[in-house]
Structure 1
Amino acid sequence: MLRGLEIIVGMTAIPDAPSPVLTRSALIVPVPSAEPVVGRHRRIMDRSAVGGVPAHVTVLYPFIPPSEIDETVIEAVAEVLRDVPAFDCTFAEVDWFGDHLVWLRPDPDLRFRELTNAVWERFPVHRPYAGVHDPVPHLTVGDAQLADLSTLRRVAEEIATELPITARIDEVRLMAGAYEPDSWRSLATFPLVGE
């Protein structure tokens, strides 16, 4: 029994609109309280936002190919997260990866690291960021693929004046999508238990 777990089994299609083939999946922690501060910037400067992914901290990406996600996978993720408590965090600092990605640092970040490590331990083939980058907990605001450095710097300065953002972290969401606008969809939501 998957108590409290919401699994999305169907999607509402737009009539006459071709559905994109879902090619990627991710486990994320949505941060809705960040949307008023970063949402308008992310929709222009973050590929995941263009794809339909809300403001978030990544738990594990890339995850299992969507075509391989079944009830067994959902149950395994639910088992990993079953006793994980909800927690509060603050985003009070703007940071950078080099000069190409501006992001918000969660404090504390240990709980996000623990989430990533727990899921990665259960699914060891799926390394965070395919092993290309260290799994540093962060909330992406924008990257140099969609905005020039001067724009990123201006946005970083603007957002810094609107911090801190407080957030209650109470769910992990499994999403899947493609490299197409508005293609990402929620497949399952895993509630974190209250403290």
Structure 2
Amino acid sequence: MGWPGHAVLQVPVIELEDWIVTRTRHYDAGFISDDPGFHHAHITVLAPLTSWDVEAIAALAASSKPFDFELDHVDTFADGTIYLHTDKTGEFKQLTAGAWLAHPQVRPYGGDDPLPHLTLDRLSAQVGVASTEALLDGLLPVHGRANALELVWYRSNECHLIGRWPLGG
């Protein structure tokens, strides 16, 4: 049967959508969604979700103000994940804390103090920070606006938007 999939509560990063779609297609085109509401480029708020509280997500979104953010430099985690760092970690951590309160069974990013980020790639013999920065040439810094929470489903050939809630109601 394979991986059953899971949902992700996320903030879309429209400015990098084309770049992320290209990298995703490079690795596994099954994760390219044909749902026009689905955003591949995102900063995760909480994952993995196998069940969720829609009312709590709506309340969190309504009580959270939209904010601008910048993705300014490429870095790596110890596990080899290459990511873009955001200057608004406090605001994203507040969203994660609110979502986690409603879904205490989920450990955000598998830990207790997650670092908000946009995943770009993974270290390998062919991929590194320098090669990723070269592919991003001219795109950084990215100036985005967090104005919605999206709940999306991830599973190969089944990626789609479940729901979207504007920040601030």
Q: Deviation of residue 29 (structure 1)? A: 0.6
Q: Which runs of 5+ in 1 are unaligned?
A: 1-19
Q: Deviation of residue 49 (structure 1)? A: 8.5
1:107-186 matches, within 5 Å, as 107-131=87-111, 134-144=113-123, 148-153=124-129, 154-159=131-136, 161-178=138-155, 180=156, 182-186=157-161
Structure 2 residue aligned with 1:60: 46
Q: Deviation of residue 119 (structure 1)? A: 0.8
Q: Deviation of residue 32 (structure 1)? A: 0.6
- AA at the equivalent of 2:22: R
Task: Name the SS for the 1:151 alignment partner.
Answer: coil
Going from structure 1 to structure 2, the CA distance change for 1:49 and 1:151 (only over 3 Å counts) comes to: farther
Identity percentage over the alignment?
Answer: 28
Deviations 1:118-162 (A, max 9, x none): 11012211121344x841101011124xxx343233123332543
Query: Matched residues in 2 for 1:136 and 1:48: separation?
Result: 27
The number of equivalent residue pairs is 162
Q: Which of residues 50, 67, 88 is equivalent to 2:31?
A: 50
Going from structure 1 to structure 2, the CA distance change for 1:161 and 1:49 (only over 3 Å counts) comes to: farther
Query: Matched residues in 2 for 1:78 and 1:106: separation?
Result: 24
TM-score, normalization by structure 2: 0.81
Query: Matched residues in 2 for 1:27 and 1:186: separation?
Result: 10
Query: Matched residues in 1 for 2:64 and 2:30: separation?
Result: 27
Q: Which runs of 5+ in 2 are unaligned?
A: 34-38
Going from structure 1 to structure 2, the CA distance change for 1:188 and 1:99 (only over 3 Å counts) comes to: closer
More strand by share: 2
Counterpart contact for 2:152–2:160, Cα < 8 Å: yes
Q: Deviation of residue 37 (structure 1)? A: 4.3
1:24-35 matches, within 5 Å, as 24-35=6-17
Q: CA RMSD in A?
A: 2.7
